[in-house]
């Protein structure tokens, strides 16, 4: 139940320096990510900081991956932000409480899945569906952030409504905001090109705060982040009605599926690369504990983050202790530094979000599907259009249904190998793969490459 008890007993003092450096680097990434993703979730910026802080304090105790970093993610954040508006009824405090309660439900689902040893569920979500869903998320997020980059207020609705509003209101562009946002994007692109896996976003945030405070950018029409409370929030259950639990269940299930697939994919990747054992079922317990803590600490749902985990690995992390160190640093930020964030310009934050979602739109994967398997390409596009046309929550469900249909189709049409004798041997193999094999006269040999299912019949009584 607690893998940390195993690796802590074998912990070597020489690893501490590497874990400490990785933890500092990870914390430098977590702060701008928390601020940016909180805006995607339509929550105050401190909610993202709380989510990263409290989830990081416990995830390292339960996870089996040595490099996965728990954090808020763009996909889950925008799913939360787009799903709770009607239920909250325009009340920001209720919206925040519902988001925190969603994290608690995600934690409960993770614990139930861990008890049921349901880690195998991740195998039911195909890669093509995941690629298409992420591409749809990237486009949706871009439609929410471009108005902020151009300095005018965006609209509500789906991707098409937001995009139409954006193009019809370009005349309201604030040039100071646009120039600041484009300069930020340029710095982030240069940092990605020449300072790979370095906390460039943190330095951009600091530079933006200094510029706004010294040049009075607010007087030029540049919108600032606003007051960010300093200190810890009250720790406890969010104030919601019991009847809200049933309404939140579909959203929590969608967040749980996304978090489970993303976290398991990261864990498998690092385990193969570094040669250690990964337990997908154990990771469910890590997701459960992290989300429960995030919910109790006024955060919102979290999962393993791709960019943050890669930063943690490249920083030299040897054990999950780096994640705990990053959480402690986040605690110091919340206690002593968060007040200075009120000067952060919104265009800078929008540029950070837009830069982050470029990694979600995987053109290379779509091109590969087009060349290698047109069916998988069609599935990916269907998932993408499902997100853009039916909304994010329905897009998750559409993706899950498509994955199950694919599984049933493959199971119902298994590959059948027709066998021939290997020349000069007494063994047989697939003639389609080995055309030189010799057919057996008067016999047709074949192998069904699938499970054989026998239907049991009730015993018959003969008199």
**C-alpha distance from residue 124 to each of 129, 261, 287 (Å):** 10, 10, 19
Residues 299, 280: Cα–Cα separation, whole Å? 24
What's the pLDDT score for residue 107?
A: 96
Q: Which tokens in the block code for residue 10? A: 């074998």
The confidence score (pLDDT) of residue 313 equals 86
Distance CA 84, CA 90 (A): 10
Shortest CA distance to 102 belongs to which of 249, 213, 260? 249
How would you class 242 by CB atoms within 10 Å of its CB: exposed for 0-12, middle for 13-18, buried for 19 or more? exposed
Q: CA 416 to CA 418: how far, in whole Å?
A: 7
Q: Could you read off the pLDDT of 124-145 as tens digits, one per residue?
A: 667 787 788 888 888 888 888 8
- Positions of E strands within 197-323: 303-304
Cβ distance 63 to 317 under 8 Å? Answer: no
Q: Is the pLDDT of residue 444 over 90?
A: no
Using pLDDT thresholds of 50, 70 and 90, give the confidence band for residue 458: low
The predicted pLDDT at position 396 comes to: 66
CA–CA dist 348, 182 (Å, integer): 9
Largest CA-CA distance found in the chain, in angstroms, rounded: 100
> What percent of the chain shows pLDDT beyond 70?
95
- Asked if residues 323 and 3 have their Cβ atoms less than 8 Å apart, the reply is no
What are the domain boundaries of the chain?
A: 4-409, 415-463
* Residue among 56, 30, 34 at smallest CA distance from 45: 34
Name the strand (E) or helix (H) holding 419: strand 416-421
| H, E, C per residue of 296-308 | HCCCCCCEECHHH
Query: What is the per-residue pLDDT for 373?
Result: 81
pLDDT tens-digit profile of 9-50?
888 999 999 999 889 889 888 888 899 899 889 999 999 999
Asked if the model's pLDDT at residue 167 lies above 60, the reply is: yes
Residue with tokens 């763009």: 74
**Three-class secondary structure of residue 250 per DSSP:** helix
pLDDT at 111: 96
Q: Are 136 and 402 in contact (CB under 8 A)?
A: no
Residue 5 has pLDDT above 60, yes or no: yes
Q: β-pairing, 303-304 with 70-71?
A: antiparallel
For the chain, the average pLDDT equals 86
Tell me the two tokens of residue 129: 């569906």
Encode 369-389 in three state secondary structure: HHHHCHHHHHHHHHHHHHHHH
Strands (E), 229-321: 303-304
CA distance 379 to 397: 14
Q: What is the pLDDT of residues 349-382, one digit of tens each?
A: 888 888 877 877 888 889 998 998 887 888 888 8
CA distance 145 to 39: 9
pLDDT of residue 180: 93
Whole-number Cα distances in Å, 366 to 354, 380, 405: 20, 8, 20
Residue 123: pLDDT band by 50, 70, 90 thresholds? Answer: low
pLDDT of residue 455: 47
Assess whether pLDDT exceeds 60 at residue 461. no
pLDDT-derived band at 166, boundaries 50, 70, 90: very high
Place of tokens 């009730």: 458
pLDDT over 80 at 459, yes or no: no
- Tracing tokens 């269940």 back to the chain, one arrives at 249
Q: What pLDDT digit, counting tens, does each position of 384-443 carry? A: 888 888 776 677 677 777 777 777 777 777 778 888 888 888 888 888 888 888 888 888
Q: What 3-state class would DSSP assign to 70?
A: strand
pLDDT > 90 in the chain, percent: 36
Quick one: DSSP state of residue 456? -
262-288: pLDDT as tens digits: 888 788 878 878 888 888 889 999 999
């Amino acid at each position: 139940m607690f893998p940390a008890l195993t690796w802590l007993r074998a912990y070597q003092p020489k690893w501490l320096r590497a874990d400490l450096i990785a933890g500092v680097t990870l914390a430098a990434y977590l702060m701008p990510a928390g601020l940016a993703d909180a805006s995607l979730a339509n929550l105050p910026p401190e909610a993202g900081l709380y989510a990263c802080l409290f989830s990081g304090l416990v995830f390292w105790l339960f996870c089996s991956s040595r490099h996965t970093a728990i954090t808020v993610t763009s996909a889950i954040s925008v799913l939360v932000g787009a799903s709770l508006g009607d239920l909250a009824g325009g009340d920001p405090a209720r919206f925040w409480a519902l988001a925190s309660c969603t994290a608690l439900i995600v934690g409960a689902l993770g614990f139930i899945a861990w008890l049921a040893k349901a880690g195998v569920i991740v195998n039911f979500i195909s890669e093509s569906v995941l690629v298409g869903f992420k591409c749809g998320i990237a486009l949706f997020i871009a439609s929410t952030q471009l108005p902020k980059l151009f300095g005018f207020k965006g609209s509500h609705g789906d991707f098409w409504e937001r995009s139409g509003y954006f193009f019809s209101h370009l005349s309201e562009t604030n040039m100071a905001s646009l120039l600041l946002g484009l300069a930020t994007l340029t710095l982030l692109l240069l940092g990605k090109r020449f300072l790979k896996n370095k906390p460039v976003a943190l330095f951009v945030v600091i530079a933006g705060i200094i510029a706004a405070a010294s040049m009075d950018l607010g007087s030029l029409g540049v919108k600032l982040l606003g007051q960010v409370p300093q200190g810890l929030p009250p720790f406890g259950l969010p104030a919601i009605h019991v009847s809200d639990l049933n309404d939140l269940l579909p959203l929590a299930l969608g967040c749980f599926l996304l978090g489970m697939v993303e976290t398991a994919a990261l864990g498998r990747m690092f385990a193969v690369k570094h040669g250690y054992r990964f337990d997908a079922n154990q990771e469910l317990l890590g997701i459960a504990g992290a989300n429960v803590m995030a919910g109790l600490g006024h955060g919102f749902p979290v999962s393993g983050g791709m960019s943050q985990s890669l930063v943690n690995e490249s920083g030299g992390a040897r054990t999950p202790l780096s994640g705990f160190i990053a959480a402690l640093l986040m605690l110091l930020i919340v206690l002593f530094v968060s007040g200075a964030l009120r000067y952060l310009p919104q265009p800078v934050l929008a540029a950070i979000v837009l830069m982050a979602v470029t990694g979600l739109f995987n053109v290379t994967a779509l091109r590969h599907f087009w060349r290698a398997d047109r069916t998988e390409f069609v599935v990916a596009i269907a998932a993408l259009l499902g997100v853009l046309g039916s909304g994010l929550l329905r897009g998750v469900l559409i993706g899950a249904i498509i994955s199950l249909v694919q599984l049933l189709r493959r199971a119902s049409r298994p590959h059948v190998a027709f066998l021939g004798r290997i020349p000069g041997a007494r063994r047989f193999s697939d003639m389609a793969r080995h055309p030189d094999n010799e057919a057996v006269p008067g016999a047709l040999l074949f192998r069904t490459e699938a499970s054989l299912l026998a239907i049991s019949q009730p015993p018959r009584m003969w008199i």
